[in-house]
Amino acid sequence: MSPLNFISLGGGLALFLFGMSILAGGMEKISGGKVEKALEKLTSNIFTSVLLGAAVTAVIQSSSVTTVIIVGMVNAGILKLQSAVGVIMGANIGTTITGQILRLGDLEGNANAFLQWLKPSTIAPVAAIIGIVLLLASKRPAKKIIGEILLGFGVLFQGMFSMEAAMTPLRDSPTFANLFAAFQNPLLGVLVGAVVTAIIQSSSASIGILQALSSTGAITYSAAFPIIMGQNIGTCVTSLLSSIGASKNAKRAAMVHLYFNIIGTILFLIGVYGINAAIGFSFWDAPINKGGIANFHTLFNVVATLIMLPFYKGLAKLAEITVRDHQPISRETVIMDTEVGAEPLDERFLSAPALALNQSRMVLQEMAKDALFNFQRSYALFSNYDCKVIETIQTTESEIDQMEDRLNSYLGRISEGELTDQESKDATLLMRLTVEFERIGDYAINLVERADSLYDKHVKFSEKAIQELDIVCAAVEHIVAMAYEAVKNDDLNLATQIEPLEETIDAMQDTLKYRHIKRLKSGLCTIDAGLVFLEVLTNIERISDHCSNIAVYLIGRHKNGEILNRHEYIKKMHQGNTEEYNRLMKNYMTQYMAALPAED
């Protein structure tokens, strides 16, 4: 085999892997992240878990990626270890779909006229042409994704053809034939399959390479079987590496993947070689083709799953024995182990942007809830100053700031990946919402500082000022709670109810500022208390402004998928008030503005 053949082989392999990547990326986009999100809804039903794992992997086109996601979900506390076992089993079945697609190459020699039109050497170039036209010419995202899938399919097979052409000289090579004859030693074959797959980190790609090699006719069934089994073991390297630094249960999930394939390989080695020794397979020393490789790969994973399905709890137990607790297991230990190391913004989710964005939403919701609670606690300090409450507020604010930092960093990393248009817009929306809720938390701290100022100076608001503050703060608490619920439930209807309340709060602030300035001028209020009261009004009005921003961002996402210009949108709302807007405004004015105590 000349150096040029090796270059052609390397180029073909590069095309093959690139085609797989494009195809998998397109399939991921067209699914809209639904397959990954489905993983979060797993029940304890082992059969559902297996089917879901198979379906997800068939779309993602990589059991390694699925297993890495599962490790991340276990690490984040989303999945329990036993639920993860079924998904991992199903992932091994789902990964066989690539081999079954590549077996279409066996149609090349079929004399049937209809099948000749279906052979890859005809379909692949056509798919690539249509794909590139859609990708470059179409303006619709859905058509671009279809073009990506077709292009990936075409490039995948072109890579396969290039590898097969480069290996044609090996058909008559005695050295090459002797090399694969050595792989008839089952242990050596398993080792080679595991090492090659560990390097590539994809059993689907490794199977594809083996199928390309089968075109030489030098690979027999007896040589291919142990290599295929080894390939299943080699693919576990990715999940094992991803579990480094994760929680104990996440490490155990990676070990389940390894044990499943090792035990399956041992059982198959005993069964296949035992049967062959007893009765002999007529095809044992015959050359294997792409279809034979694909079928055995599928058979191995399906049968191994069926055998070990009744013992899935035993697999989890074996992983727990391997990755031990450092202290005796008790109820408290289990609770601690669940909490410690749970990381919702796990790096492993970055390979599935839809899932990563969903995890980001969960953290944002927690951040929003903390901001709401801090506001509730902070304004209560003006009527009941409490140092312990202030410590709680400051601790929560520190957590809000940490969540903001982590979210911004995580969303930035998500945005660096390959996203659909909708995912990109969602990432931008989450970044903006993160800033808004963090600012609400900051203004709550400003209120604490104003309360501190009054306490240090031994000054209190008048009873009238406290009554006024309680009512306007109740309105602001209402608007913050609505913003939180609108984000939590992605509720467009609730988001549209925020702006009328924000306008009501603005009117209340103007009224209360006017009243308080009059009290200051007349000497009914001290300078120290009066200035703090005006600062408090400014801070709570700004909180309502941030809630208005949140509403506008959510409305924009629902209306046209874009981030709206807040000032332009609000201007249009105020200029063309609808009947519903006016009704809400009237209700809010009655509920809050009219509830203000009468002016002296």
Q: What is the pLDDT of residue 31?
A: 61
Which pairs from 248-251 meet CB under 8 Å and 24+ separation?
248/323, 248/325, 248/337, 248/341, 249/74, 249/75, 249/80, 249/81, 249/337, 249/338, 250/71, 250/72, 250/74, 250/75, 250/341, 251/323
Beta partners for residue 220, in sequence order = 287
CA 324 to chain centre: 28
Beta partners for residue 287, in sequence order = 220
Distance, in Å, from the CA atom of 175 to the CA atom of 168, rounded to the nearest integer, reads 14
In this structure, are residues 32 and 426 in contact, taking their beta carbons and an 8 Å threshold? Answer: no
Distance, in Å, from the CA atom of 59 to the CA atom of 208, rounded to the nearest integer, reads 17
Q: What is the pLDDT of residue 589?
A: 93
Determine if residue 462 is left, alpha or beta; phi over 0 gives left, psi from -120 to 50 gives alpha, anything else beta: beta
Q: What is the pLDDT of residue 517?
A: 80
Q: What is the pLDDT of residue 588?
A: 93
Distance, in Å, from the CA atom of 380 to the CA atom of 450, rounded to the nearest integer, reads 12
Q: What is the pLDDT of residue 335?
A: 35
pLDDT tens-place string over residues 379-435:
899 888 999 999 999 999 999 999 999 999 999 998 887 777 788 888 999 999 999
Inter-axis angle of helices 566-575 and 498-522, nearest 10: 90
| pLDDT < 70: residue spans in the chain | 1-3, 5, 24, 28, 30-44, 61, 105-120, 170-173, 175-181, 325-342, 523-525, 560-577, 600
- Write out the H or E segment, with its range, that includes residue 520: helix 498-522
Structure tokens at 527: 């300078």
The length of the chain is 600
Q: What is the pLDDT of residue 145?
A: 82
In this structure, are residues 544 and 506 in contact, taking their beta carbons and an 8 Å threshold? Answer: yes
pTM of the entire structure? 0.72
In this structure, are residues 19 and 152 in contact, taking their beta carbons and an 8 Å threshold? Answer: yes
Distance, in Å, from the CA atom of 188 to the CA atom of 483, rounded to the nearest integer, reads 62
Q: What is the pLDDT of residue 575?
A: 61
Q: How many helices (H) and strands (E) does the chain have?
A: 27, 0
Q: Which domains does the chain have, with CATH numbers?
A: 3-322 (no CATH), 349-593 (1.20.58.220)
In this structure, are residues 52 and 42 in contact, taking their beta carbons and an 8 Å threshold? Answer: yes
Q: Could you give the angle at the alpha carbon of 103 between the alpha carbons of 98 and 108, nearest 5°?
A: 145
Q: What is the pLDDT of residue 87?
A: 87
Q: What is the DSSP letter of 348?
A: G
pLDDT tens-place string over residues 486-503:
999 999 899 989 999 999
